[in-house]
Structure 1
């Protein structure tokens, strides 16, 4: 059963993790905890902020990576950033071409937004900003896919499972 949660809270992120993972009975079984403990992770209380232990969330994310995404998005937003999932695929040369293409798209939209054809050539309009955000998200995604490909080659599959842990040794 999905509990109503407050948007932007850890309880909402935990509930999204549960939704991505599947049935809460399965979650309780896979974690070896009571169903009430699983439910407790999304309960809103004034006494304690709610949530579920990070070790449990880590385990859910390792079994089903899509269950980790809502938690990553929550903490990235809390830290003032964004989370962009990486899908490892493609050859390195193709990755560089995709990065170049996406960067070109960002530059093109920037030029259009600041041209005489724009409703506000001195700034981005709301619609232009939304389009540019989509393009930047695509640029970030292909850049991080390229980074993941390089990390896999540099450190091997066993070390490349957590791509954002810092620099290469």
Structure 2
């Protein structure tokens, strides 16, 4: 059962985490906690804000990574940033050439959006903005994959990349 939550709250993020994980009965079973505790994670009240314990959220995310995304987005937004998942599965073609190609796509779309071919050459139309967001996401992904490969080499791991590490002052 999905509980109504207030947008931008931890309860909304926890509900999105639950939705990404699956059925709330499965969540309770997989975490080994009562269904009422799972339900309490999205309860909006004045006495104590809801929210599932961070340890439980960590366990859910480790069991199903997609359930970590809503929580990451929530805290990234509170910190004034954004969270962009980066897939590191499959063949890694994230080298400087891929990054350059993706940046070129961003520039080309920007030029098209501000040309006479656009319905609003002075700005992005909603459609152009959505296209540009997709292109920027692809460029950011290429940059993060390239960064992950460089980090692996800097740490003496060769080209092996299991995750995209962001740590220390290298940000």
Query: Which TM-score band (shorter chain)?
Result: 0.7 to 0.9
1:154 and 1:19 map into 2 onto residues whose CA distance is 38
Matching residue of 1:95: 95
Aligned residues: 166
- Any gaps of 5 or more consecutive residues in structure 2? none
Tell me the secondary structure at the aligned position of residue 42 of structure 1: coil
Q: Aligned-residue CA RMSD in angstroms? A: 2.6
- CA change 1:166–1:54 in 2 (3 A) is same
Matching residue of 2:139: 139
Counterparts of residues 2-41 of structure 1 (less than 5 Å)? 2-41=2-41
TM-score (norm 1): 0.82
Alpha-carbon shift at residue 8 of structure 1 (Å): 2.7
Contact 1:14 1:71 (8 Å CA) reproduced: yes
Tell me the secondary structure at the aligned position of residue 47 of structure 2: coil
Matching residue of 2:167: 165
Counterparts of residues 50-129 of structure 1 (less than 5 Å)? 50-88=50-88, 89-91=90-92, 94-129=94-129
- CA change 1:153–1:61 in 2 (3 A) is farther
- Any gaps of 5 or more consecutive residues in structure 1? none
1:40 and 1:165 map into 2 onto residues whose CA distance is 33
Bigger drift between 98-107 and 1-10 goes to: 1-10
1:57 and 1:160 map into 2 onto residues whose CA distance is 22
Matching residue of 2:148: 148
2:122 and 2:25 map into 1 onto residues whose CA distance is 55
TM-score (norm 2): 0.81
2:164 and 2:144 map into 1 onto residues whose CA distance is 12
Alpha-carbon shift at residue 167 of structure 1 (Å): 4.4
Alpha-carbon shift at residue 35 of structure 1 (Å): 1.8
